[in-house]
Amino acid sequence: GTRDFDFSFSARGISEQFRADMGYLTRTGVLNFIGFIRPKLYPKSSFFQRLEFELSSGQTQDRFSGLWETGNDVSVNIFFGGNWLLRTHLNYSTEIFGRERFQTSGAHVQLRAQPTNDVLAVIVYHRMRAIYYLSAEQGKSNLLNATLTMQLMENVRADGSFDYAEFYRDV
């Protein structure tokens, strides 16, 4: 990447016979291709520092079922007012579970603020289609995470977080 443009493309395969004897957990029997591009703009503004537009795509073949799942994302990152970030992210995605394709598309919004070097606050909200894995049912999910980190003294830091997760099945 450069100051004005980031990119990445990769491919990997994990065999169906991959063994996790050492405690390493990963999904076996997949082949995936992942890539993204992220052009960056630096407007002549005292308020907006940088704008990033990101397009990404990941295509994964589940070798056990032969089905493909996808994850295609569009994001806008707005850096402003010192150390503040507003990120909006939309995606169209599917996931293979139990040899069946499920819809997992959704959106998320993130606000990250660092008003001083000693204070960092992050709020992330996700709304997406989801899978209830125990019964392989389709549903919807709302996730909210908020964290606050404060450097109180040189060797004393306080961290607080709040997590909310909700899943409801389609009727």
User: The whole model's pTM is what?
Assistant: 0.78
pLDDT band at 21 (very low <50, low <70, confident <90, very high): low
Contact criterion met (CB below 8 Å) for 148 and 163: no
DSSP assignment letter at 61: E
Question: pLDDT higher for 162 or 136?
Answer: 162
pLDDT at residue 103 above 80? Answer: yes
**Taking 80 as the threshold, does the pLDDT of residue 28 lie above it?**
no
pLDDT of residue 90: 97
pLDDT tens, 116-155?
989 999 999 999 999 988 888 899 999 999 999 999 998 9
**CB distance 129 to 143 below 8 Å:** no
What count of other Cβ atoms lies within 10 Å of the Cβ of residue 155?
6
pLDDT band at 22 (very low <50, low <70, confident <90, very high): low
User: Could you tell me what percent of the chain has a pLDDT over 70?
Assistant: 95
The answer to whether the CB of 78 falls within 8 A of the CB of 48 is yes
Task: Give yes or no for residue 91 having a pLDDT over 90.
Answer: yes
Flag whether pLDDT at 108 surpasses 80: yes
Model confidence band, residue 13 (pLDDT cutoffs 50, 70, 90): confident
For residues 129 and 29, the model is more confident at: 129
- The whole-number pLDDT of residue 123 equals 98
